[in-house]
Amino acid sequence: MNITQERMKVIEIMSRLSIDRASRALSKTLRTGAMISLSNVYIADLSETTERMNNDLREMTGVMVDFKGNIGCKLLFMLPVNGSFILTDLFLRQPTGTTKEYNEFTEGVIQELGNILASHISNVLVSDFDATLVPEPPHVHNDYAGVMFANLVMEQGMNDDKLLLMETKFEICKNEIECYLFLVPEATSFVKLLDNIGVKV
């Protein structure tokens, strides 16, 4: 994935707009202080990221979304399972700490979180950057970070040793939850989008 400095600036703008809008929608849905903020966007080495994910031995809850259109890409959002319990309680309007194990309610909440993230990422690209992008129904997983990341790479059929990585912070009711957000576009279609909006190589 060859991305120039000029193009990385545009990608960062796309990413920040997407995350900001998703964050506002989530906060409105939860009716409480919830914020997803973008820390960094960069092109990461696939082998190094795989090793990093394999070294994270925490149980995670994640959601994967497949996008179709003139840009093909996949999104994977992961957070520690305890963070998903907090989200479940907030969505269900019950005291924090009520949910103590992964269940069908947790799965439904994380699926809805995937819908929120996917819809706002696609909306930004469609409305502001002239893309055709339609998110498919999200798939929720409860596993280790390394397993979910391996599934992402395998499903995308990556033949490149680089991927686009977003580092995000997730704050709920003043509690910061470390999370992972990967957006893995098909390199050729993503470059075509940047070409179409006049971003020079």
- For the chain, list the domains and their CATH numbers: 5-196 (3.40.1550.10)
d(CA 148, CA 114): 15
The DSSP-derived string for 62-76 is EEEEEEEESS-EEEE
Q: Rounded mean pLDDT of the chain?
A: 81
- Do 46 and 162 contact (CB within 8 A), yes or no? yes
Q: What is the DSSP letter of 138?
A: P
Asked whether the predicted pLDDT for residue 64 surpasses 70, the reply is yes
Stretch among 7-16, 38-47, 51-60, 183-192 having the lowest mean pLDDT: 183-192
Residue 37: which of 153, 130, 168, 154 has the closest Cα? 168
d(CA 196, CA 201): 12
Band the pLDDT of 53: cuts 50, 70, 90: very high
pLDDT of residue 201: 46
pLDDT tens track for 85-109: 988 988 888 998 999 999 999 999 9
0.85 cut: is pTM over it? no
* Cα Rg of the chain (Å, integer): 16
- The helix/strand/coil state of 10 is helix
For residue 30, the surrounding DSSP H or E stretch is helix 5-30
Please give the backbone phi and psi of residue 96, each rounded to the nearest 5 degrees, phi first.
Answer: -60, 130
What are phi and psi for residue 48, nearest 5 degrees? -65, -40
Q: Evaluate if residue 185 carries a pLDDT over 70.
A: yes
Sole residue written with tokens 């795989």: 50
